[in-house]
Amino acid sequence: MQLVLATLEKHILVVNRKKYSFGVERVAYLGHVISGQGVAVDLDKVKSILDWPYLRTHKELRGFLGLTGYYRKYVWKYAQIAQPLTEQLKKDSFGWTSMEMITFDALK
């Protein structure tokens, strides 16, 4: 730890005490958890997707697609599944049909 702090001081860098920790076994970083076992998805983020309320506006849709899209590499054929919702972003008005409901539930 002394080496890290000395290196930071040498290069005139500062650390925000609220944003750092030393000697921990797990680190949450950009929607993933990094530990000695490797990299895994952050279960808190996954829970927030599962608990997401039904969409009512373009803004809510963009937020949902942004969060689920972050994990797209874990969802086989994500783009094809999300297509009905993605199409809603291109239209002038927000429409919610049974197809969008099925897609929303499939992504959750």
Q: Note the pLDDT tens digit of each residue in 23-62.
A: 889 988 888 899 999 998 888 888 999 999 988 888 999 9
Is the pLDDT confidence value at 71 over 90?
no
Query: What pLDDT score was predicted for residue 65?
Result: 94
Query: What pLDDT score was predicted for residue 15?
Result: 82
Task: Using the Cα atoms of residue 17, residue 25, residue 108 and residue 52 in order, give the sign of their dihedral.
Answer: negative
Is the pLDDT confidence value at 10 over 80?
yes
Give phi and psi for 43, each to the nearest 5.
-65, -25
Query: What pLDDT score was predicted for residue 31?
Result: 83
